[in-house]
């Protein structure tokens, strides 16, 4: 029983809690002030009192550094948490930038596809057949071949049962004057293509 009692009494005292520090420090400060008044009343040099006060304050700081260390630990924890949040936001922004760049690449590809479907002359034919330009033309075999290409892409269709074959029969020699709308109509697909071309041209 004696040995057990010795072991229990030899344990170090637990460190003061934060609440205890709030009472301990002001109490010691009050005692220091009272001691200063007493020392000054006995004619002691004030410099000695100041030095003793500094030494006492230093002793208190080092003797009770536990709460300070806890505060430092809390600050480090908050710093790590804040850094992780910033890193997460940076990664999210980077992912969004990559997604935007990917969309930009897709838009660029679509532009190339839209512009590569027809030539500049074919686009002019579509605008004329759609009524956006004057459809009066002179027959050329190159123009006829371009119209065949538009017909194969389902961008134009025969007008009232006429079409390309009737155009060839009526004006199958270079220089013959005709109106495209007398032989061809633009299809819904052709109108969609013109709209897509207009959107691409604005960018």
For residue range 111-168, list pLDDT tens digits in order: 656 666 888 999 999 999 999 999 999 999 999 999 999 999 999 999 998 999 999 9
Q: Which residue has the higher pLDDT, 31 or 136?
A: 136
pTM (predicted TM-score): 0.48
Q: Please tell me the distance from the alpha carbon of residue 20 to that of residue 64, in angstroms, as a whole number.
A: 11
Q: What is the mean pLDDT of the chain?
A: 75
CB 166 within 8 A of CB 144: no
Element (H, E) at 147: helix 141-152
Q: Which of 140, 161, 164, 141 is closest to 152 using CA atoms?
A: 164
CB 185 within 8 A of CB 161: no
Highest mean pLDDT among 11-25, 49-63, 170-184: 170-184
- Lowest mean pLDDT: which of 57-66, 84-93, 185-194? 57-66
CB within 8 Å of 177: residues ≥ 6 apart? 136, 137, 138, 139, 171
Q: Which residue has the higher pLDDT, 172 or 90?
A: 172
Report the percentage of the chain scoring pLDDT > 70.
Answer: 56
CB-CB neighbours of 3 under 10 Å: 7
Phi-psi bin for 118: left (phi > 0), alpha (psi -120 to 50), beta?
A: beta
């Amino acid at each position: 029983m004696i040995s057990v009692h010795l072991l229990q009494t030899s344990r170090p005292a637990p460190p003061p809690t934060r609440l205890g520090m709030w009472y301990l420090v002001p109490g010691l400060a009050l005692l220091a002030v009272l001691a200063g008044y007493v020392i000054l009343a006995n004619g002691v040099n004030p410099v000695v009192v100041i030095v003793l006060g500094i030494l006492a304050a230093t002793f208190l700081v080092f003797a009770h550094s536990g709460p300070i260390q806890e505060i430092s630990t809390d600050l480090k924890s908050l710093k790590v948490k804040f850094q992780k949040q910033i890193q997460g936001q940076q990664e999210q922004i980077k992912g969004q930038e990559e997604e935007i760049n990917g969309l930009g690449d897709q838009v660029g590809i679509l532009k190339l596809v839209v512009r590569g479907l027809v030539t500049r002359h074919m686009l002019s034919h579509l605008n004329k057949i759609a009524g956006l330009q004057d459809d009066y033309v002179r027959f050329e075999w190159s123009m006829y071949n371009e119209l065949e290409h538009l017909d194969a892409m389902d961008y134009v269709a025969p007008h009232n049962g006429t079409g390309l074959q009737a155009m060839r029969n009526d004006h199958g020699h270079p220089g013959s004057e005709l109106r495209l709308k007398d032989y061809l109509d633009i299809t819904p697909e052709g109108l969609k293509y013109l709209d897509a071309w207009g959107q691409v041209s604005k960018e």
